[in-house]
Structure formats: structure tokens, C-alpha cells
Amino acid sequence: MVSVKYKLSSKALKKITFHGLKYPSNRILGVLLCNGSCDDHDLLIVDAIPLFHSWPSPLLLEAALSQVESFSKKYKLLIAGYYEGLDTISSDLQPSSLGLLLASKLAEFCLNSCILLIDELSFVERYQFAFKLLLREKGNWITQDEDSLLIEKLTSIEKEFAETRYRSLYDFEDHLKNPSLNWLASY
């Protein structure tokens, strides 16, 4: 197994959570940003950028990634992987074909890039999603043990959920429908 540890900041966790809550019946897709180097063995995911709540064409995905790349360079961040919200997680579940395509592209630029799968249905039970982390090993994406992902605690998520604050988070797809929505800086 690869000995890389990931820590998901509360900011990134909140954005992923809100993306899943805003579109509970859709598969969601976004990217994970870290500071530091992708060669580090301890990566802090400091932000998450929501991209889509339906499956995009490759052209739209490329346009979104281009803007995220510009954004991340401006703030000296690196694209460290992507997240994908799924209806349920099982031990044999794998990322979508689109997700694998995206992950392979990101792995060209970040040695320790990751895939973070999210069980959107788990939120209802615990006010927190269940996650599954995958890393690339010898050309394959392999599920990592739970110790590979540390998650900062969200303290006010129940209150913010009740206040429906997740509705103020926008993804790239929302921006395409209404260009006035700032999807890179929302929430």
C-alpha cells in the first residue's frame, strides 16, 4: 500500500457536504485542492471546488478544469484529486468511467493524486458522509484503509443544514446556467 496520508480540512469537508446536500439525488463531481507539493506523504486538502451535479461532456469538463487550474495557480494551490458523490458505497464499488478518466488526467500532474468517493445517503443517518479513498498503485486505483484519511470535525453542520445554507453553494454547472453565480468562491 502507498503510505500517503490525507487530511480533509473542515472547509473542504463543508463544501463537499453542501454539494451533496444541494443535489441529493444526483451524482456530484468536484476537485480537491491542496497546498504544498503533490510529492508529500502528508497532504492537506484545504479546499474543494464543486464542478457538476450531472455528467458533463468532456468539453465542459475540460473548460471547468481549465478555470480551476487558473484559480489554483492564483492561490498557490494544487489539484490533488477529485471527489465523486455516489448513491451508496460498497467495498467493491469503483469510480465512474468519467471519474477514472479525470483521475488519470490528474495523476499526470500530481504523483499522489486521489479519488474520494462519497456515500451521499449516509448523511441522513449521521450528519456526516461516509468516504472511501482510492490511490493509484501500479496503474490501478486501490481502496485505502480508513487510517489514510483524516477528517477535521464540522462543528455547526446540523445548524447550517437546518438553515439550508447548502443552497448558497454553486458548482460550475450552476454557473453555466447563471453566469452571475461565483462558483469558484461560493461558500
Residue 184 lies in a domain: no
Residue 126 pLDDT: 55
Q: Lowest-confidence range among 37-41, 80-84, 145-149, 157-161?
A: 157-161
Question: Is 65 part of any domain?
Answer: yes
**pLDDT-derived band at 186, boundaries 50, 70, 90:** low
Q: Is residue 83 within 8 Å of 48, Cβ to Cβ?
A: yes
Residue 150, in any domain of the structure: yes
Strands 42-52 and 5-8: parallel
Domain assignment present for 183: no
Q: Domain limits at 173?
A: 5-177
Angle at 25 between CA 113 and CA 92, to 5 degrees: 50
Higher pLDDT residue, 28 or 89? 28
**Statement: residue 59 has pLDDT above 50:** yes
| DSSP 3-state of 131 | strand
Residue 133 and residue 61: Cα distance in Å, rounded? 22
Residue type, 146: E
28, pLDDT greater than 70: yes
> In Å, how far from its chain's centre is CA 17?
10
| The pairing of beta strand 114-119 with beta strand 29-34 | unpaired
Q: Is the pLDDT of residue 187 over 80?
A: no
Q: Is 15 exposed, middle or buried (0-12, 13-18, 19+ CB in 10 A)?
A: buried
* Alpha carbons 8 and 128: distance in angstroms, whole number: 13
Total domain count for the chain?
1
> CATH number of the domain that 122 lies in?
3.40.140.10
Tell me what pLDDT residue 121 has: 65
CA dist 66 and 21 (Å) reads 26
Asked if pLDDT for residue 31 goes beyond 50, the answer is: yes
Higher pLDDT, 31 or 13: 31
Higher-confidence residue of 17 and 119: namely: 17
- Asked if the structure places residue 182 within a domain, the reply is no
* Full strand arrangement of the beta sheet holding 42-52: 140-143, 130-137, 114-119, 78-86, 29-34, 42-52, 5-8, 149-151
**Is the CB of residue 114 less than 8 Å from the CB of residue 81?**
yes
How do residues 128-179 score in pLDDT, each as one tens digit?
A: 667 889 988 888 888 888 888 888 776 666 677 667 778 889 999 999 999 9
Average pLDDT over the chain, rounded to an integer: 84
